[in-house]
Chain A
């Protein structure tokens, strides 16, 4: 029983998204993920309308308790009346390209609440902890009426961390029991934090992590890059609720500073710049991939026969591809 095609044009989805219609939001995110040319105009319209939501980015090594914390944090935010959108990114398997997106299952407590939208995304080869369409999804949710949007990145633990160039407020999560060093430092994530969280503070070994991290920050390892904002270290437990009042205050506080300071303005320009170059890169990549496809084999054979070197042939390939367009 194959169903008849019921394709709804993307532009028609925009109003429905603005009305908060979940299935329209969900479909638009899928089209953004697929990079469908048909959706570009609609996404442009959406970008124009977006920009109201507070975007909180969460990063930290795998297993540090990010998803569990998102779930508890979203419940708190809901209690203030705010609608919460969540974009949770998990890695794709490098072997099959598939994934098991495991963050959502940690957020089961939110599953009955119509004021929470959770979307799982696979990285599909994108480095830096986010998926290509993550920011599109944020815009769509923003237009859909979600006032706070939380991005849970992959716990990459590498220094290439895009989230700080995408979120209004970046939270770095460290957890006890995942090795004795402060993971944030190891992963080069110390500097990007607007708020530091030490999770799992119901555990006895969390105290150590907390004091170590605080000490590290006061020792002058660069942590506070912005003078208007002193980066706080908040200990939380997503199991018993410890520290969430403080966390809420920190997030609110950072947002207020970011909205009304020069530092905040610069940050937003930087975010826009990153978005622009990232998108341009993707466009170029797409165009190039399409255009070079018919030429690649020929060039590869020439390289194989040593009729040139990799640099000059690649230069020629680029020129030929775009020239051909």
Chain B
């Protein structure tokens, strides 16, 4: 039987808007994935530490406070320092289109903004993990 996909759903920074993150966590669990939720107000360091220790397939970061351009470069730098090359990083929340495009340039695999249907999130993560292959 295939292994459940492991996902860390993370909230970075000071914003407490966790409605989306928690709906996503529940959706992914109900789709048969193993989900770890970071809790609120985490730093990029804490989130990357957790993602690496847990060896998640996917690190999903939800942001609604506009700090994406500060947070994601840090996350990639930290992953790099830890020698992690195959982690799938996705972003969710609210942000301008330019930022979403810039994040994809930076290496974010997918940006799923507010109102992305739950089933689409499941499908996207499953596809990304399949594309990555065995690890």
Direct contact of A and B (CB under 8 A): yes
Q: Let me know if B31 and A26 touch, CB within 8 A.
A: no
Q: Let me know if A23 and B82 touch, CB within 8 A.
A: yes
Q: Let me know if A100 and B26 touch, CB within 8 A.
A: yes
A191 beta carbon closer than 8 Å to chain B = no
Q: From the candidates A7, A93, A111, A120, name the one contacting B36 in the complex (CB within 8 A).
A: A120
Q: From the candidates B32, B39, B109, name the one contacting A108 in the complex (CB within 8 A).
A: B39
B residues adjacent to A (C-beta < 8 A): 3-4, 6, 25-26, 28-39, 42, 45-46, 49-50, 52-55, 82-86, 88, 104, 107, 109, 128, 131-135
Q: From the candidates B32, B33, B55, B134, name the one contacting A26 in the complex (CB within 8 A).
A: B55
Q: Let me know if B55 and A29 touch, CB within 8 A.
A: yes
Task: Produce 1/0 per residue, A94-120, CB < 8 A to B.
Answer: 011111111011001001100001111
Q: From the candidates B3, B45, B53, B107, name the one contacting A34 in the complex (CB within 8 A).
A: B3
Task: Produce 1/0 per residue, A3-40, CB < 8 A to B.
Answer: 10111000000000000011100110110011000000
Q: Let me know if A5 and B33 touch, CB within 8 A.
A: no
Q: Let me know if B134 and A7 touch, CB within 8 A.
A: yes
CB-CB under 8 A from B4, the residues of chain A are 92, 97-99, 122, 124
A79 beta carbon closer than 8 Å to chain B = no
CB-CB under 8 A from A2, the residues of chain B are 128, 131-132
Sample of 12 more A-B contacts, CB < 8 Å, known A5-B135, A30-B135, A118-B54: A6-B135, A7-B135, A22-B53, A22-B82, A29-B55, A30-B3, A30-B55, A93-B30, A97-B4, A98-B28, A98-B29, A119-B53
CB-CB under 8 A from A27, the residues of chain B are 55, 135
CB-CB under 8 A from A30, the residues of chain B are 3, 6, 55, 135
* A98-B35, A111-B49, A120-B36 known; A23 vs B84 contact (CB < 8 Å): yes
CB-CB under 8 A from B133, the residues of chain A are 5, 7
Q: From the candidates A92, A99, A102, A119, name the one contacting B54 in the complex (CB within 8 A).
A: A119
Q: Let me know if B50 and A99 touch, CB within 8 A.
A: no
A23 to B29, CA, bound (A): 24
Tell which of B6, B29, B88, B133 has the most Cβ of chain A within 10 Å: B29
Q: Let me know if B31 and A98 touch, CB within 8 A.
A: yes
Q: Let me know if A104 and B85 touch, CB within 8 A.
A: no
A residues adjacent to B (C-beta < 8 A): 1-3, 5-7, 21-23, 26-27, 29-30, 33-34, 92-93, 95-102, 104-105, 108, 111-112, 117-120, 122, 124
CB-CB under 8 A from A23, the residues of chain B are 52, 55, 82-84
Q: Let me know if B132 and A100 touch, CB within 8 A.
A: no
Q: Let me know if B52 and A22 touch, CB within 8 A.
A: yes
CB-CB under 8 A from B42, the residues of chain A are 108, 111
CB-CB under 8 A from A1, the residues of chain B are 104, 107, 109
A3 to B57, CA, bound (A): 12
A31 to B46, CA, bound (A): 24
CB-CB under 8 A from A98, the residues of chain B are 4, 28-35
CB-CB under 8 A from A93, the residues of chain B are 29-30
Q: Let me know if A120 and B46 touch, CB within 8 A.
A: no
